[in-house]
Structure formats: C-alpha cells, structure tokens
Structure 1
Amino acid sequence: MNPATLSLLLFILFIVLIIFGIPIGFSLGIIGIIGLIVMDQNFMMVAQTFLSGINHFAYLAIPFFVLLGIVMEKAKISGLLVDFADELVGYLAGGLAMGTTIASAIFAAISGSGPATVAAIGTVAIPEMVKKGYSKRFAVSVAASGGILGPIIPPSIPFIIYGVVVEESITKLFLGGMGAGLVLAFLMMVLSFTKAKIEKVPVSGRGPSLKGILRATWRAKVGLIAPAVVLGLIYGGVCTPTESGAIGSIYVILVGFFVTRTLTLKGLLDCMEKTARTSAMIMFVIGAAYLPAWLMASWNIPEVGTKFILELGHSKFIFLIFVNILFLIIGSLLDTPAAIVILAPILHPIAIKLGIDPTHFGTIVVVNFVIGYITPPFAYNLFVAKGITGMTMDELSLAVLPFLFVSLLGLVLITYIPEISLFFPRLFMG
C-alpha cells in the first residue's frame, strides 16, 4: 500500500478511536502497531521508539513546571495575583476581568500549563467577578480564555516538546512565546473592556492609588518573584529550563510552608501525586506519538510533503494559511504534545526552506494548538471551567466564542508580523 494512503487511513482510524472514547495515548499506540504490522516491521520498535522518544533531558522540565503550577494553586498564591491585578486595573470598566487576564499571564509565567492556569485563577476570579456584577458567562469566558496564555507565555510545556522534536533552542522559543502571549493578553483585555461597557458591568468607583498598588504588590511579592526567578535564571544563561523548573518548584514549596503557611505535608504529597499523574499522562502521549512519527519518517512522508508543497509554489503567505487551517483543526481534535511530535518534523523543514524563521514558526505552531484549548469538542480549558462552575459544555462553548475570535485575530497578527515573536529573542540573544 502507498505510504501516503496508509498514513491517511491510519489518521482516519485515529479520529474514529478518539470519537469512541479511547484515550489518546492508546489510540496513538494502536495506529502505530497497525502501521508496523502492515509494513512488516519488527515489534521491538514499539518499545525502542517509545523509550528513545521520551529519553531527553529537556523533558525533565515538564514535571517540575507541572509541580510549580499545582503547588502555586495549593499554596493560595494565585489569589494574591488576582488581588494584585485587580488593584492595577480594577477601577476601569471590566477591570476585574482584565485583572483576571493579567493574573493568568503572571501565573502562566510560572506554570506553563493551560488547564492549571484556569484551575488556579478561575477558582478565585470567577466567583469574585460574579459577586461584583459580571454575568457567569462573561466571568467563565475570561478565565477559560486566559488559560491559553499558560502554554504560550514561558515557561511552556509545548515549547519544550517542540524544541526537542525539531532540535531548536528552547530558550529562543520561550522568548518568542513572550511576545505572542503579551499580544493575546492585550487583545483579551480590550475585549473585556468593550464587553463590560456593552453589558454595563458595575465598576468599583475607586481610582488607582500608589499606596494601594504598593500594598497589593507587597502582598503578592511571593507570586511575582516566582516568574522572575524561573525566567531570570533561564534568560541569564545560569540554568537550563529543567534546572530552573526544579529551583522554582523548591521556591514555591518553601513559600507555601513558611510564608503563606497554607501548604502542609499532606498537601505537598497530594501535589506530588497530581504531578506524577499529569506528567505520566503527558509523557505517555509523547512516547506513543513517536511511533507513528517514526513510521512516517521511515516512509519519507516529510520529504514527500515538502516536495508536494514546494511544487505548489514558494509563497510563505499561502503556506502559513495552510498551516494555520491545518493546525487549528488538528488542535481541536488532538492532544497538543502528540500533535507536535507527529506534525512538527513534517512541516518544520518546509518552513525553513521557505525562509521562515524557526522561532517564528514554532510560535505559530504552539499558538495554533493552544487555541484548541478553548475550541470544542476537545477544549481542555472548558472542561476545567465546567468543573469550577457546573455549566454545560454547550453554554461554555457559546460563552467563550468572542474570546475565541479575538484569539484567532491574535493568531493572524502573530503569523504575519514576525517581529511579535522575534522581538524578545533578538533583544536578549541577538
């Protein structure tokens, strides 16, 4: 059978398995094994490919950043960030909503996870917004959409995976995500301001005061120091992302025990158990995804794809349109780590041949997939928001639509204005 045809059939089978509720990791393993059978390959490749796929030092950063986010939530540091952000912009129309986005951006600079950001910030911010006159739909849409900043603003788990898979600098990718995340956060805040004006959401009536801002900054200092420590060590060239994640984890654990005093030994053990479960799930999906990725590489699918696309023309504009449409669809159906492992090795070489900067392209890829976190049917952030609010998925999907459209606008800007994702890499790394 033609390898391209077989790849298409296996992808269709994968979608069918997902629809029937088979976990993503197992679905990837099933199609990989079927591919091995059809191509008469040695079954030892299953174990070898799985283990070699996850055997990267950079992947050790994943459990550390997962632990960081979980401990931040357990230690009640996320509430301090919401109060700090509310003090900055709470006097404006939609101020608390904008403050929630700011808090999400700060938390994102610690955790690297979308669902963790929604859980940590949303648990505090959604009830507070409803209490202050926001509709429940408005409140939950702000928190759920703010969660997509988690995997974009560094440190970012998807950027770590992308950097390992295509062998690009993870630090440069982190810096590229910084610009993209700030643009998306700004657009979300503009939408919150406009929406609050239209819905006539009450404002606090108090203007900003230097005393109030300083007081809120002092109270939130432990939360604000965390991203400065984690990112400062990386960008200063002192530590790798893995080492920085370990140091950051120790920092927030000490803060939880001795500063906020909301973390107990039992609570820490619970955090470690959650970290182990989450990290194991991520690593299993990554390892399983390497099998179909290896099969496609052995069938020369990347080379065939490169040749086919380049024969259609050498237009960056058209190629990026194709990439965005493809990744938006895949991102709403497939788990982000698996999608990166399978698709990045195919499309990354094409982007390089077309003269697209690898950091810029990596940022586009991750932003596309992360928008899938608020795109039905497999919208992870909406599932977390559902657990917080009890709203149905239909209600949540409708509520988040304005923020989904704004995120797509941000994606267009990030795609066609390379300086958004290249400004910080050039500033810090030349």
Structure 2
Amino acid sequence: MFRPLSLFVGLRYTAAKRGNHFISFISLVSILGLMLGVAALILVLSVMNGFDRELRQRILGMVPHATLSGYGDQGLSDWRELRKGVLDGRGVQGAAPYIQAQGMLTSRGRVQGGLVNGIDPVFEPEVSILERHMDIGQLSDLQAGEYRIVLGELLARFLGVSVGDKVTLVLPEASISVAGVVPRLKRFEVSGIFSVGAELDANLAYIHIDDAARIKRMTPGSVDGLRLKFADLFDAPRLAREVAAAQSSSLYVSDWTRTHGNLFQAIQMEKRMIALLLLLIVFVAAFNIVSTLVMVVTDKQSDIAILRTMGATPGAILRVFMVQGILIGLIGTGLGVALGITLALTVTDLVAWVERALGIQFLSADVYFISYLPSELVWSDVAMITAAAFVISFVATLYPAWRASRTQPAEALRYE
C-alpha cells in the first residue's frame, strides 16, 4: 500500500467523487477565492511598483534630486567654480546650472501657464533625462541668442504649435516704456518637443540659459543655481546638505522631497493599504477552506470511526484532513500565482489595447502624473504573497483536522 497512510487517504478524499456535491462546490469556491485573492495581490502590487518606478525614473528624472542656490533673489556668479567643487562631493553624479522663471506661453489666442527653465545643453544631460525623451528636435538646437524653446508634448498640443512655430513668453514683471507699464514679452521659436508621459509634459518648457538671463535681466554669467544628481536619490537630502556645507554657508539647499516627496509617500502608503485590503480576500478564501473541511469531517464521520477502529491514531486522522486542506491551499495559491504573474506582465499592453478599442483613456496626463498604466513585477513580492497565502491556508486546516482527530468511534457508529 502507498505510504504514508495519511497522505494516501487524504489524497483519496480530495480526488474522489463525493456523493455530497455541495461540499465539492464549496471546495471549488475555496480554490477560486484563493486564486483570485493571490492574483489580485500580485497584480495590484505590481501596478503600484510600476507607479513607484515611473515616479523615480520619469518625474524624478526630470526634476533635480537637489538644488543649490543663493538666498532670496541672489544668483550665483561663480557657478563654474562651485560646480567643480560640487562634483567632488560624495555621491554626486552630475551638476548643471539653471535659471527658472514662471510665465505664460501664448500662441494663436491660446494661453497656458508654465515653468520655463533656462538650461545649458552641454551640462543638462548630466542631471536630466530630457535628451532621451525628445520626440522632435535636439537639446543642441538651443543656441544662445537664437531664442528657441523646447515644449512638453501636452503643452505644445494645447497651444496648437509644432517645430518652427512661434510662441510668446509673458513674464509676470512689468517694463516701463513710452506706452506706459507693459508686461515683459519675448517671442520664441519652437525648436523641439519632448514627452515623458507625465504631467510635466503639460507645464514645462526649456530655453537656453543665456536667453533666460537676458529676459530676466540678470548679470551676465550669473545663474539662479545648480541642479544636482546623486547616485541614490534617497540619500540626496542628506548628501546635498553635506555638499553645500563643504562649499559655502551662503547656499540655499532644496531637494526632491520638498517638491515631489508627498507624491512618493502617497504611493507607498497606498501600496501598503491596498495590499492589506486585498489580503482580506485571501482570509475569506481561508474561511471557505475551514467550512469545507468541517463539512467533510461531518460527512466522513463513519469513515473516520472505521479508521480509528482499524488502529489509526488521532494524529494520523489529523494529518489526513490537513493533507486535504493543504492541497486546496496549494492548488489555489499556485493558480493565483500563475494568473497574477501573467496579468502583471501583460496589464500595460492589455489596458492600452482596451483604450484603443474603446477610444477612451483611463489615465489622462492632465489628471494623473503619467498617462498609461505601468507595471513592474517584483519577485520578492510574489514570494511574500505566496508564503502568506500558504500559511493562511495551512492555519485554516488546523481546527477542522483537530476536530476530526477527536471523533469517538462508538459515537460515530452508534446509528450506522
């Protein structure tokens, strides 16, 4: 006979066609519930990991990890020497000068507010992924004195412009002329369009740093500050202050946690809360396993009594029903892991296909910080979910199996 006995009998009970079809139905529901719970957990955590990745690579790839600037309206006139010193700092991968201005861009009667960054095309690739996401044109097209501008894809679409068209930048500063007080205006030619698939496409524009200095009437050679990139963005707040302290005490330090830290923390909080909520589905499936095994124990009272009279110990009976419950848990968890991994790897393309088929967009870049559904499968999450689901299903088998082991043969066979 197949040994061990508990495994043999447990597998026979699980595989045999029962006369009570309701128990078989509850077993199937238990497996499906566990499968859906595990698959949903893997899928949702993969999507949240995708949002986390996009935030790091795209949003934090376009905004600086940290900035060094003068206090108030003071600029940095010796930024080249400061840059050399900063690059020697621990963890610093790049540094680039910038001049920043808030303004309105107008074209063909349309007006849109935006943040205009004056950059040096030579140094900017050290701190930004902008060059890798140029749809049309190149950063090198920004030449001093040419008054050219690079727009985000959504911003260009709203203004109805493309490469070669003209846009007017209106700064919130007044100039006094013979006509009176008028806003400061400057006309630019669109030389490029970038797209990072995020909200930044709708409110960012780039011009040459020398052109920005002229329209802001800054001292020649001065900049607002330096943008820094670090090897580890989570070390940026601490390392930026160390770098600034080593260079000068008159530098104002800012970092990404002040500008986008709340968004990053919100994603982490949502990931934990959603995982906790979805874990309740697994608990519900575990309760189904409990109810299934309790009904099986009730249905098999006479079989248990016969096994006891033939010499089976209470421990052997306990293991018989634990085998049955664990098998349900293994099947449900295994199917859930397979389904969850499949969905996590294909959900981005699947959602994109549905959007094309229905002609709708689930994630609009005007509302969300990215315009598509990202997904990143993290195998440590899969292992954690698999282990948690198996432990929960194993614990669910303990009470029904213990109850079966307590069956008294005389009581069970009294009315047989």
TM-score by length of 2: 0.29
Higher relative contact order (CA 8 A, sep 6+): 2
As a proportion of its length, which structure holds more strand?
Answer: 2
As a proportion of its length, which structure holds more helix?
Answer: 1
TM-score by length of 1: 0.28
